[in-house]
Amino acid sequence: MTTSHLNISEKYRPKTYPDIIGQDSAKTEIERFLKEFPKKKALLLHGPAGVGKTTLVLTAAKENNIEIFELNSSDLRNRAKLEEVLKPASMQASLFKKGKLLLMDEVDGVTGTDIGGVPELIRIIEKTSHPLIMTCNDVWNSKFSPLRQKSRLVELKPLSTDQITLILQKVAEKEDVKESLHFLRQLAIKSQGDVRAALNDFQIHVLDSTGSTDYLEPREKEDTIFNILKAIFQQRKDFLDIFDNTKMSLDEILLWIEENIPKEYQGEALAKAYHALSNADRFRGRIYKQQFWRFLQYQNIFQSAGISYAKSSPISRFTKYERPQRILKIWLSNQKNAKKKTIAQKYARYAHCSAKRAMKEFPTIKLILQNNPSAYQTLKLTDDEIDFLQKQ
């Protein structure tokens, strides 16, 4: 056994694409992004912790023989720091006369303390001379709306139990550790798709001379919406704390439930489920109108147990749950209107009229701009705004 107190997850971090198990589609998307730059100047990798977001970017830089400039957003939470560190890096050429890739890890932190942080990051993205890849856990947080519009989104999903077991087998072999496949699989199951957590637990075992397996107790982890939906539709568990272990709001959960009820219920059960959902929404409305938060327990009951008991007995099966189309339609509409609004504002400043008037006369302004491409530069339109006009 060769292991010391060196962190195993760092010691065996993959160095090449073939070393990375899983995330094949993400590899393809990163390569496409680098090849097509500057068509899109930023890419946003999102997914839960320990699925390989940072590793993929570091590996991409090595595979393409380009310099990596790595930043952690915990040190760049505000506008001043972004201007001081990231902005110069985004404009300066590589020291080694080769390409450069900017990595901004854990970009969730930028939104934490300074309201000017995200707008400054957007400005840097618009002007950067080098591809910028950011990583985050929850891309659907409303604070990320401007970044979603400016970035190509790539989702990384948790690795399967089999994939993590294979990773642990490879590490055990390199460390000359003899462990049963069953034990390694138990570590993989406990990790819930988090490779880093599985490797950390493996290291604890390797270094633990007592042979204790207490750390194989299930790891508390944030519930995903898919686990919540499965619990409501198929499991009939204790519903009192079903929403306590998720960061998603009850309003958003309600939309997910509404979208997926028809996948699990039919006939009379479908009607009962929607009736329970309607009651949940009624109490939700009373909470907002009267600010009487004791109604929240009733919303919770109707939104969970009420829907679960709409059918006579739960049926356990695989169901592919879908993201609420209402959220997607609102997001697409907001994206479209946001581009229209920024173009109208830029035109209004140039034409010395109000932005409200420019929005009202946008169909005419659109035709003027489409027939005079030189105006794009005059108004300093971004690539996304020009693309929006050309597709109209």
Per DSSP, the residues of 320-355 read -----HHHHHHHHHHHHHHHHHHHHHHHHHHHTS-H
- Whole-number Å distance between alpha carbons of 247 and 361: 42
**Any domain includes 377:** yes
For range 132-155, the mean pLDDT: 86
Is residue 32 domain-shared with residue 122, that is, in the same domain?
A: yes
Amino acid at 320: K
Give the H/E segment covering residue 263.
Answer: helix 250-264
**Any domain includes 241:** yes
| pTM greater than the 0.85 cutoff | no
Q: Where are the beta strands (DSSP E) in 48-146?
A: 67-72, 100-105, 132-136
The domain in which residue 330 lies consists of 325-390
CATH number of the domain to which 123 belongs: 3.40.50.300
Task: Report whether pLDDT(154) > 90.
Answer: yes
Place of tokens 């173009």: 343
**Reported confidence tier of residue 3, pLDDT bands at 50, 70, 90:** very low
**Any domain includes 15:** no
Which of 155, 176, 197 delimits the end of a domain? 155
Per-residue pLDDT at 9: 83
Helices (H), 78-194: 79-81, 87-91, 117-127, 145-150, 161-174, 181-191
Per-residue pLDDT at 334: 64
Structure tokens at 361: 């006369």
Is residue 120 domain-shared with residue 243, that is, in the same domain?
A: no
Amino acid at 193: G
**Any domain includes 172:** yes
Range from 31-45, 71-85, 105-119, 350-364 that averages highest in pLDDT: 31-45
Which of 278, 308, 338 delimits the end of a domain? 308
Is residue 166 domain-shared with residue 188, that is, in the same domain?
A: yes
Q: Look at 30-44, 217-231, 374-388 and tell me which has the smallest mean pLDDT.
A: 217-231
Is residue 141 domain-shared with residue 184, that is, in the same domain?
A: no
Task: Report whether pLDDT(167) > 60.
Answer: yes
For range 243-253, the mean pLDDT: 78
Q: Look at 77-81, 208-212, 233-237 and tell me which has the smallest mean pLDDT.
A: 208-212
**Reported confidence tier of residue 385, pLDDT bands at 50, 70, 90:** confident
For range 56-79, the mean pLDDT: 82
**Any domain includes 317:** no
Residue whose C-alpha is closest to residue 191's, from 178, 180, 176, 202: 202
For range 84-99, the mean pLDDT: 79
Per-residue pLDDT at 261: 92
The residue among 298 and 116 whose pLDDT is bigger is 298
Per-residue pLDDT at 79: 73
Is residue 136 domain-shared with residue 78, that is, in the same domain?
A: yes
Is residue 267 domain-shared with residue 330, that is, in the same domain?
A: no
Structure confidence by residue, pLDDT tens digits, 6-46: 578 888 899 999 999 989 999 999 999 999 998 899 999 99
The residue among 206 and 85 whose pLDDT is bigger is 85
Is residue 38 domain-shared with residue 111, that is, in the same domain?
A: yes
Per-residue pLDDT at 180: 82
**Reported confidence tier of residue 1, pLDDT bands at 50, 70, 90:** very low
Q: Look at 72-76, 149-153, 196-200, 380-384 and tell me which has the smallest mean pLDDT.
A: 72-76
Structure confidence by residue, pLDDT tens digits, 339-356: 888 888 888 888 888 888
Is residue 43 domain-shared with residue 145, that is, in the same domain?
A: yes
Task: Report whether pLDDT(327) > 80.
Answer: no
Is residue 185 domain-shared with residue 79, that is, in the same domain?
A: no
- Whole-number Å distance between alpha carbons of 232 and 304: 6
**Any domain includes 17:** no
For range 187-195, the mean pLDDT: 87
Is residue 168 domain-shared with residue 281, that is, in the same domain?
A: no
- Whole-number Å distance between alpha carbons of 6 and 175: 12
Cα dist from 322 to 136, 171, 386, whole Å: 22, 36, 32
Is residue 207 domain-shared with residue 237, that is, in the same domain?
A: no
The residue among 108 and 211 whose pLDDT is bigger is 108
Count each helix (H run) and each strand (E run) in the chain, helices first. 20, 5
Q: How many domains, in total, are found in the chain?
A: 4
Per-residue pLDDT at 333: 67
Average pLDDT over the chain, rounded to an integer: 82
Is residue 99 domain-shared with residue 61, that is, in the same domain?
A: yes
Task: Report whether pLDDT(220) > 60.
Answer: no
Structure tokens at 242: 């079903």
Task: Report whether pLDDT(315) > 50.
Answer: yes
What percent of the chain has a predicted confidence (pLDDT) above 90? Answer: 23
**Any domain includes 319:** no
**Any domain includes 64:** yes
Per-residue pLDDT at 378: 87
